[in-house]
Structure formats: C-alpha cells, structure tokens
Amino acid sequence: MIGLIPIVSSDYILTLVYIAIIAIAFFIRYEKREYVFLTFGFFGMIISEYIFTSTKVETFDRNSLFGLMPLWLPFLWAYSFVAMKRAIKILEV
C-alpha cells in the first residue's frame, strides 16, 4: 500500500484504492473482531496524526484531511493495525 503513494497523485483516488484493498483483504480472509483493530487504527491514528501535524511535529505536502494530513493516511494506518495483528498471530507458534 505504501508503494502506491508516489504512483497515485490524487488523495481521493488513493483513498478509494485503499478502501478496495481493505475490502478485498477482508473478503479473502477475515478473522473474528478484526474490525476492532481496523476501527481503533483508523480513529486512533486520526487523533494522533492530528496532534502531531497541528503542533508541526510533522507536516505533509498532501493535506486533504483537515488541511493537515492526506485523506488516505488513516486508512493506511487502520489496515496496518490489522496487518500487525495478523503478523503477531502468525508468529505465535
């Protein structure tokens, strides 16, 4: 998903692509309560990124969400939480 950032210049199109990737990933394999990780990652990271960007700790050239961050960023973070959950489950042997 990160590799698509320099390729897709429109934040709106990239957001739709991320939503499609997440939907396909959940269609292929969905484990119980993964929506909790997705939701927490989405809203938790909006708040965190909002704090970081509003204090100028970090800045983005693409700022389509609240004028501070790219619209696609919370979707990237949200799926990252799901991916981390899945990776931890794989490593638990």
Residues 26-51: tens digit of each pLDDT:
999 998 899 999 999 999 999 999 99
Q: How many domains does the chain have?
A: 1
- Per the structure, the complete domain to which residue 25 belongs is given by 2-91
pLDDT recorded at residue 80: 96
pLDDT recorded at residue 49: 92
pTM (2 d.p.): 0.87
Is pLDDT above 90 for 59? no
Q: Which amino acid is at 93?
A: V
Residue 65 bridge partners (DSSP) = 69
Closest CA to 86 of 19, 26, 2: 26
Is pLDDT above 80 for 93? no
- Considering the chain, what percentage of its residues have pLDDT values greater than 90? 78
